Amino acid sequence: MSHTMQFQLSRNSFGRLVLESAEHGRHEGVVPVRAFPVAAPDKGIALVSTDGHEVGWIDELSALNATTRALVEQELASREFMPELLQLVSVSSFATPSTWQVRTDRGPTELILKGEEDIRRIGREGLLVLDSHGVQFLIRDLAQLDRHSRRLLDRFL
């Protein structure tokens, strides 16, 4: 099993993360990448250099010291974009392509569903809705949606 490597993380004036480690040297612009963004978001995060190589590995976020962890979390937050669908307000039609007015944890927006196959099941209750511009909307638990949303969504499932 791999374990958390020894490295220092900082942010430079260009807003990039800089990693320094004995093993891999200094890398500017490393990005944290979750290995299992849906199944286990806080376990297993790789730090990947600009040329795509893994230069650091974090077994568990909670094992990091506070500053490093904050840096990683900030960077993750600015890279991850999977708005969580909280409510379907309305849909333009039950046939696709269909424009949905939705409320998400990142504010209200609209999305265009190109086809029913762009709604994918994740696990038991979860759904992933892929909009026509490539944004993925997550529904964590279908059962948690309100009746109206569920009824609308049901027509596409």
Partner 1 sequence: MIFEQAANSLIPPAFPDAWQADLLAQLAEAETVLAWAEQDLDLQLCFGKGMLVLTAQRLLTKRAGEAEWQSHLLRDGLRLQQHDHAGVASLELFDAAARIAQWRYTLNHGPAAQHLIERFALQLDSLRSGQPVPEPEHAHCPKCKAELDADAEECPVCTREIHQPPSTWTLLRLWRFAKPYQGQLLLGFLLMLGSTAATLVSPYLTMPLMDEVLIPYQNGASIELSTVGLYLGGMLMAALVSWGLGWAKTYILALVSERISADLRTTTYEHLLQLSLEYFGGKRTGDLMSRIGSESDRISVFLSLHALDFITDVLMLVMTTIILFSINPWLALATLLPLPLIAWLIHLVRDRLRTGFEKIDRVWGEVTSVLADTIPGIRVVKAFAQEQREAARFREANKHNLYINDKLNKVWSLFSPTVSLLTDIGLLVVWAFGIWLIAHHNVTVGTLTAFLAYIGRFYGRLDSMSRIVSVTQKSAAAAKRIFDILDHVSNVPEPTRPVQLKQVSGQIELRDIRFRYGNRAVIKGLGLTIRPGEMVGLVGHSGSGKSTLVNLICRFYDVSEGAILLDGTDIRSLPVADFRRHIGLVLQEPFLFFGTIAENIAYGKPDATREEIIAAARAAHAHEFILRLPLGYDSLVGERGQGLSGGERQRISIARALLIDPRILILDEATSSVDTETEKEIQKALDNLVKGRTTIAIAHRLSTLRQADRLVVMDRGEIVEVGPHDELMAREGAYWRLYQAQARNVDTDPDDAE
Given the rule CB under 8 A, which residues bind partner 1? Answer: 13-15, 31, 51-53, 77-83, 92-99, 104, 106-109, 112, 115-118, 130, 132-136, 154-155, 157
Residue 126 Cβ, how far from partner 1 at the closest point, in Å?
16
Candidates 105, 157, 109, 152; CA nearest to 131 is 109
Three-class SS state of 82: coil
Nearest approach, Cβ of 63 to partner 1 (angstroms)? Answer: 25
- CB of 77 within 8 A of CB of 22? no
Q: Are strands 126-130 and 119-122 parallel, antiparallel or unpaired?
A: antiparallel
2 contacts: CB under 8 Å, gap ≥ 6: 57, 59
**Cβ-based nearer residue to partner 1, 4 or 108:** 108
Complex with partner 1: residue 4 or 90, whichever CB lies closer: 90
Rounded least distance, CB 144 to partner 1, Å: 20
Residue closer to partner 1 by CB (options 98, 149) is: 98
Q: State both tokens at 57.
A: 């590995």
> Could you give the C-alpha distances from 34 to 58, 93, 118, 123, 135, in angstroms and in order?
9, 36, 23, 18, 18
| CB nearer partner 1, residue 32 or residue 64 | 32
- DSSP, res 5: P
Residue with Cβ nearer partner 1 (4 or 74): 74
Min CB(128)–partner 1 separation in Å: 11
How far apart are CB 24 and partner 1 at their closest, in Å? 12
